[in-house]
Structure 1
Amino acid sequence: MKVLTVAGTRPQLVKVAPVSRELRKYVKEILVNTGQHYDYNMAGIFFDELHIPKPDYDLGIGSASHGKQTGEMLKKIEEVIFQEKPDAVLVYGDTNSTLAGALAASKLHIPLIHVEAGLRSYNKKMPEEINRVLTDHISNLLFAPTEKAVENLRKESIIENVFNVGDVMYDAFLYNSALAEKKYSLKKFDLESKKYLLATIHRAENTDSREHLLAIFKSFAELGDIVFLPLHPRTKHKLEEYGLTEIVQRADNIKIVEPVSYLEMLLLEKHAKAIVTDSGGVQKEAYFAKVPCLTLRTETEWVETVEVGCNRLVNPLEEDLAKVIQQFQPTDFSIPLYGDGKASEKIAKIIVNFLSENSHL
């Protein structure tokens, strides 16, 4: 049996690592890297750190508009499918790489497997929401990370071949967090444990709004704590475009660095006093690390973290972000929201059974 895995962004590569380790015990896996994150620090380094096998195909798509990027991916993934003739295509999450892989498989009548199915923010202005909804509705095998995700699928009449296996990111966190502690030290960043805030900003609803970015960075500047910010290329470009670089430079407490590796990020998350982010993955990792999280969005697909009081949504235009950060007190981190850390093992076994029972598809 042969499974073609499509990935291409930082969070997807994190998820690929533990699943590939398990999946390759049973089937031949062909790994396709679309190159959606094309900078070495944003993607390539993960293949080294996480021991992900070298991609069989590196499509090198790079940055472009949503339509152009997705179209180029669809074209090249289709060519790979013709070449490899896989028994199934496996996609992760909610990116343009996800949708392109899903459409290519569906149009060629190849069984489609979606890891991280059923997530919903219910904000269709987010490209990720469109990607995940469309992918779920054409998938043949869906792996949900939570019971809430299963419920979301049920509401949309998706009930067949849906499995709540837990979250593969928790698998990755458990596997890699100890390695991060051994390999890296906070001294590299001139930081002390629990004496800094970790921030990440990259989503379009924040970066594409001068008002949002201005409000966020003004709030950061008002804090007494160090704000450590690995700066996404998109955010850096927008700060320059909007003329906000000077505000950042004047703030002595804002420490901006180039994007860090996945293991470095785990270390930074574990030792942060709190995390401020608009990233879905970082929200979960904050929960895994038992660190308070403030999410710069009006909704989240990881509602469980908000419901248990460990994550708080903040609209920087309507609330005083600096005040919220100073006052937020998280509650209980002990609830196992995302499974037992064995999602990858479950996924691999279910895929093998599915392909054995559905070889006619």
Structure 2
Amino acid sequence: MVNITLIAGARPNFMKIAPIIHAIHQVRESGREMDYRLVHTGQHYDPKMSGDFFEQLQIPHPHINLEAGGGSQAQQTAAIMVGFEKELENFKPDVVLVVGDVTSTLACSITAKKMQVQVVHVEGGIRSWDMSMPEEINRMVTDSITDHFFTTTELANENLINYGVPERKIHWVGNTMIDTLLKEMPNLKQPHGEIYDRLKEKSYFVLTLHRPANVDQEEKLKAMMEAILEGSGELPIVFPVHPRTAKVLKNLGIEHPRLHYTEPLSYLEFNYLVQNARGVITDSGGITEEASVMNVPCLTLRDNTERPETITQGTNELVGTDPSKLKPYMEKILEGNWKQYRGILLWDGHSATRIVEKLWQIYGEKKRVTQG
């Protein structure tokens, strides 16, 4: 029996984990002995990640929630490590699988390695080279102690090789976030509410903002919001507001008849909005991937990205954080003169299958030889 502990701490992690769970079930149905334990660190609490969220992704509720949310980054990292150490004392797996670049990824990787448990990193090797981002530190530290890397692109492979990682530890598999998107696209659904009933297909923008560089400085956020309103013509802007951003927006009192603040949406509802939008304005990395695959124009309000493939082969453009740079991009979207998705290798809906097959090859076959 190969036992895998799967780590998720924030909402996007579950989109990346869900197809891996489905692939493990398929392996088990084929007669091979593989089991998993899903650990939610509790890093982020999201009401939209209650029962309906797990039903939408068709995955079971976590086996345990470490309830390590809140506090500073250091406090949260420490709380996750303490909680996960107890978890590993009670249930020691053959391997711990972490995804992405959140605090939980870093904390659980360190804890596992110190307890002599192997670590595999799904989405290993991606880099923004911006050390002011907590996520970049999480990526670099996690990758420095990882045993096997499951990568999304050739560029991620090259980054790891340049660090001296042996090629036998690097497995190019694609993007499990896109596995979930492709599987769920037939199930996307319009959110309930008068705002959404009034929206016309390809006649509105979707906006998301949450990064400290964009939302923590009130004057900067105000200037960006004004630039977005100015550049959007007569089209509505739908803004599902992250709790971090809501506090600042409330202080600023930014309101406009075309600007619609909404509660955070479920996975199926949010991606319905993206799929039918004229364009997306965001500072999220994951949304740039989803928008690209859905062939929806995307503007990233950041000065760098760890997902350059969404620019070279996708529908994303890196605008930066200067509000004055935004208008020409939005005009181009309004004119309908935007690049098309060119396809990204191995972003085909089968990444999780490749991951689980490789895990069986690495750990299952090894166990059979050892026990045999």
- Superposition TM-score, scaled by structure 1 size: 0.93
Of 327-336 and 265-274, more deviation after overlay is shown by 327-336
Where 2:246 maps in the other structure, the secondary structure is: helix
Structure 1 residues 115 and 214, CA, compared in 2 at 3 Å: closer, same or farther? same
Q: How far is the alpha carbon of 1:306 from its aligned partner?
A: 1.3
Superposition map of 1:43-58 within 5 A: 45-58=52-65
Q: What is the CA–CA distance in structure 2 between the aligned matches of 1:340 and 1:161, rounded to whole Å?
A: 22
> Aligned pair 1:231/2:241, yes or no?
yes
Q: How far is the alpha carbon of 1:43 from its aligned partner?
A: 6.2
Q: 115, 119, 133: which one pairs with 1:108?
A: 115
- In structure 1, the partner of 2:320 is 315
Where 2:311 maps in the other structure, the secondary structure is: helix
- Structure 1 runs of 4+ off > 3 angstroms? 42-45, 183-188, 357-360
Q: What is the CA–CA distance in structure 1 between the aligned matches of 2:353 and 2:73, rounded to whole Å?
A: 33
Where 2:150 maps in the other structure, the secondary structure is: strand
Of 24-33 and 285-294, more deviation after overlay is shown by 24-33
> Aligned pair 1:75/2:88, yes or no?
no
Q: What is the CA–CA distance in structure 1 between the aligned matches of 2:51 and 2:71, rounded to whole Å?
A: 19
- In structure 1, the partner of 2:17 is 16
Structure 2 contact 39–65 (Cα < 8 Å) conserved:
yes
Q: What is the CA–CA distance in structure 2 between the aligned matches of 1:209 and 1:259, rounded to whole Å?
A: 22
Structure 1 residues 317 and 265, CA, compared in 2 at 3 Å: closer, same or farther? same
Q: 81, 88, 93: which one pairs with 2:95?
A: 88
> Aligned pair 1:168/2:176, yes or no?
yes
> Aligned pair 1:216/2:224, yes or no?
yes
Q: How far is the alpha carbon of 1:60 from its aligned partner?
A: 1.6
Structure 2 contact 100–122 (Cα < 8 Å) conserved:
yes
Where 2:188 maps in the other structure, the secondary structure is: helix
Structure 1 contact 42–259 (Cα < 8 Å) conserved:
no
Q: How far is the alpha carbon of 1:177 from its aligned partner?
A: 1.1
> Aligned pair 1:121/2:131, yes or no?
no
Q: How far is the alpha carbon of 1:215 from its aligned partner?
A: 1.9
> Aligned pair 1:66/2:67, yes or no?
no
Structure 1 contact 33–57 (Cα < 8 Å) conserved:
yes
Structure 1 residues 173 and 333, CA, compared in 2 at 3 Å: closer, same or farther? same
- In structure 2, the partner of 1:265 is 270
Taking only the aligned residue pairs, the percentage that are identical comes to 36
Match of 1:237, as an amino acid?
K
Q: How many equivalent residue pairs?
A: 354
- In structure 1, the partner of 2:351 is 343
- In structure 2, the partner of 1:179 is 187
- In structure 1, the partner of 2:259 is 254
Q: What is the CA–CA distance in structure 1 between the aligned matches of 2:40 and 2:88, rounded to whole Å?
A: 13
Q: What is the CA–CA distance in structure 2 between the aligned matches of 1:347 and 1:322, rounded to whole Å?
A: 42
- In structure 2, the partner of 1:301 is 306
Q: How far is the alpha carbon of 1:188 from its aligned partner?
A: 6.8
Structure 2 contact 68–83 (Cα < 8 Å) conserved:
no
